[in-house]
Chains A and B, each alone.
Chain A
Amino acid sequence: IVMTQSPATLSVSPGERATLSCRTSQSISNNLAWYQQKPGQAPRLLIYGASTRATGVPVKFSGSGSGTEFTLTISSLQSEDFAVYYCQQYDNWLPITFGQGTRLEIK
């Protein structure tokens, strides 16, 4: 399953909302996760099941979608939210694939 994230880079001003997209080459139901990765750190799980926030993840992060189209929305952007975001599918378990990432940068 091929994952396509868009845009590759997203420039947003602090306090605004960011909308990141992930598209899959075939339907994966809701078997999609989102991760945040900051420089020099391991990825951090944000969302699984397309829309369920992981433990400790603020409500400003929300996921939606099913089938082949998914969205991660981050509201009221703060400095710590600027990072790279990856989607990952786990439909039919294996092989697991990741999107190429969206870099969220400060405008």
Chain B
Amino acid sequence: QVQLVESGGGVVQPGRSLRLSCVASGFTFGRYAMHWVRQAPGKGLEWVAVSSFDGTIEYYAESLRGRFTISRDNSNSTLYLQMNSLRPDDTAFYYCAGRAYYFDYWGQGTLVTVSS
């Protein structure tokens, strides 16, 4: 069955960096665009970034451009999110999601808490 398993979340101080990973299984990962979507505790969903199926095209939410970088390794069916200069308002559950521009596959999420 389809699985997306995120990891890499945790507590980090403001200004520091963190890299999230999402390992996919049960479908042909390299055929599809993949996204990161985040959700602050008790709040709504916010789209973060997308990587094209081959990783050659990336696009970001305007407010995050320059601090976050999405990438992928199709040989290992893994999606990444590099997050730099983290701020308290980046605190959220981070989900990887696919497979098109609406999301039929979701991971369980990984919690990132930015706090001193």
Contacts and interface: CB of A to CB of B under 8 A. Distances in A.
Contacts of B27: none
A94 B47 CA distance: 10
Given A95-B61, A95-B62, A54 B45 contact: no
Given A42-B108, A42-B109, A95-B59, A48 B102 contact: yes
Q: How large is the interface on A (under 10, 10 to 19, 20 to 34, 35 or more residues)?
A: 20 to 34
A100 B106 CA distance: 19
Contacts of B104: 45, 48, 54-55
A33 B107 CA distance: 18
B95 A86 contact: no
A96 B101 contact: yes
- A-B residue pairs, 7 tightest by C-beta: A33-B102, A90-B101, A42-B106, A96-B47, A98-B45, A48-B102, A45-B104
B59 A42 contact: no
B93 to A, nearest CB: 9
Contacts of B83: none
A55 B108 CA distance: 19
B73 interface: no
